[in-house]
Structure 1
Amino acid sequence: MNTLTRTLGTGVLAASLAAGAAQAAPRADTTPQATAAAATLDGNYVVTADGVRLYVKDWGPKDGPVVTFSHGWPLNADSWEAQMLFLADHGYRVVAHDRRGHGRSSQPWDGNDMDHYADDLAAVIEALDLRDVTVVGFSTGGGEVARYIGRHGTGRVKKAALVSAVTPFMLRTDDNPDGIPLEVFDGFRKAAQQNRSQQYLDIASGPFFGFNRPGAETSQGLVQSFWAAGMQAGHKNTFDSIAAFSASDFRPDLAKFDVPTLVIHGGDDQIVPVALSAEAVPRYVTQAQVIVYPGAPHGITDTHKDRLNQDLLDFVSK
């Protein structure tokens, strides 16, 4: 926790708690199933009921078993390319979309919250008519997958995988005393407002890939690709998303998991500490299998891609 605090910085922004609660609160004015069903397909884009255009990658044989990928903050579908290429080469249909506000998708002013993210994933699944899907989520995308199941159920889901995920609940509250203090996320927001370009460089060259650890060799390619993806996303969208991934309580969502679930996490994750996340998931998901990569950082989709690829293949092929 001290490492995370030092890395992200501290400092309270006015009304940030209220903003976080507002972003994390469930929407009462929509029917999830109707929202997903209203989505349409337009070339490489899925258009949601509220007019957001979601860029979609659809690789591999169209008749293969389906795996969807939900990416982390502030990235886009490209961050899953190593896993998508690997699984597509093994006969799987792999689908990933750029989250609203990120990558090549629209940058709406509103709706940058976990309920919309989950409904967008549902829109992609419905528009492409995907069935028996293994839904995979990394970091914030893990929360997206959890909220998707919480709101839409598992009628189209065969399995789920949470990789370096923010589930069950990141924020310290009265009923989550081991969570991360609000001041840490306020510092995150403050850094984003002051100079988000530098923030992305600092995250990528430091805790995300573990490059701040003694003896670590920094990959400028990974640092620059993280920065480029972050700068492609909308400022308002990524700022609002901080509340979405930190203040959303996924414990009720996880309680609705009724499919085999794989949880993979780095043992030295400085962004989402393993004790707070992966090790806590089995309290809510009875079918969860947890694999911890000793000494691995948050960004294991790149730093440990060979092992992750094989673990995912073993899981989806069972």
Structure 2
Amino acid sequence: MGYYITVEPGINVYVEDLNPAGHRTILLIHGWPGNHNLFEYQLEQLPKMGYRCVAMDCRGFGLSDKPWSGYDYNRLSDDIRCVVDALKLQNFTLGGHSTGGAICVRYMARHNGYGVSKLALFAAAAPSLIQRPYFPYGLNREAVINIIQGVYTDRPKTLRDFGSMIFHNYVSEPLSDWIFYLGLQAAGWSTAAIANTWLDEEGLFNDLKTIKVPTLILHGINDQVCLFPLAIAQNNSIKNSKLVPFESCGHFLFYDQRERFNEELIKFIEV
């Protein structure tokens, strides 16, 4: 079922809640610039196996409201808390892809992991998507600035260019087109605002160290967006974490290696 949940006065986010009677719950947070539909091949499989799957569109994306502001990790993690409270989620697995993974990390620190029994990070943009003087990994700052400028001048081309970076293995042209159109469903200002957050956000380095729950880190060796050293940094910072490298795999690992992705995630939830 689909719901709209109020996260601020006059601002609502869209949430899909599949198989509410499921024996275990996972809450999925998508990456930039998509929406909950990116998890289609999890949302159609896991409920059949008895899991409750909750997937939200972050503000500014998909079917959620698109306010002018509120795109920093603090506010986005507060939106997750609103969903958790509204649906009364307890003892659930929190899973996030790319920027969604970074938001999940902030949720764990800012809300003390409220309700979360396990954390799963998929090609997460943490601790930093960009290179910094003390963190020589990630994308060049100039590359992100170019993305922001491209969003303001030719957003469709910018999203097409981004789409050329996300896969390592072959996907059909229709599938690539579909993911492109999911990105176009976002507002231009929210798309740019999230990219700006990549530049300014440095708190995830400390946030990672606060995570106490069992954590699964799935990351493609060939990821061109969130480079593999980010996964190593996550694994080194989170005490109770397990890193599973995906060889021959890019940023969208739930498409590049869909079956293995689902297997690893299910195995982790069941342990």
Q: Aligned-pair distance for 1:304? A: 1.2
Alignment of 1:253-268 (within 5 A): 253-268=207-222
Q: Which moved more, 1:259-268 or 1:223-232?
A: 223-232
Cα contact 2:129–2:138 (8 A) shared by 1: yes
**Same amino acid, percent of matched pairs:** 30
Q: Provide the residue aligned with 1:295 in structure 2.
A: 248
Rounded Cα–Cα distance in structure 2 between residues aligned with 1:86 and 1:245: 32
Within a 5 Å distance, the mapping from 1:235-314 to structure 2 comes to: 235-249=188-202, 250-275=204-229, 277-314=230-267
What is the aligned counterpart of 1:196 among 146, 149, 155?
155
2:87 matches 1:128 = yes
Distance in 1, matches of 2:228 and 2:198, equals 16
Residue type at the aligned position of 2:98: S
Match of 1:316 in 2: 269
Deviation at 1:61, TM superposition (A): 3.9
Q: How many residues align?
A: 269
Deviations along 1:38-93, one digit per CA (max 9) or x if unpaired, are: xxxxx711111343110000002425211000001000001012112221111111
Matched, 1:207 2:192: no
Pairing 1:223–2:157 present:
no
Over 3 Å counting, the alpha-carbon distance change for 1:188 and 1:131 in structure 2 is: same
Per-residue CA distance 1:209-256 (angstroms, 9 max, x = gap): 13xxxxx54411221111111111000001001022454221111111
Q: Which aligned pairs between 1:1-318 and structure 2 lie closer than 5 A?
A: 44-204=3-163, 206-210=164-168, 217-249=170-202, 250-275=204-229, 277-318=230-271
Shift of 1:168: 1.4
Q: Distance in 1 between matches of 2:96 and 2:198?
A: 12
Q: Which amino acid aligns with 1:279?
A: I
Q: Which has the larger radius of gyration?
A: 1
Displacement of 1:301: 1.4
- Structure 2: which amino acid aligns with 1:110? S
Does the CA contact (< 8 Å) of 2:138 and 2:226 recur in 1? no
Partner SS, residue 13 of structure 2:
strand
Structure 1 SS opposite 2:165: helix
Give how far 1:178 is off. Answer: 3.5
Q: Which TM-score applies when normalising by structure 1?
A: 0.81
Contact 1:170 1:247 in 2 (8 A): no
CA contact (8 A) 1:168 1:251 kept: yes
Query: What is the SS of the residue equivalent to 2:55?
Result: strand
One-letter amino acid of the counterpart of residue 234, structure 2: V
Whole-angstrom distance in 2 between the partners of 1:55 and 1:152: 21
Structure 1 unaligned segments of length 5 or more: list them: 1-42, 211-215
Higher strand content, 1 or 2: 2
Structure 2 unaligned spans of 5+? none
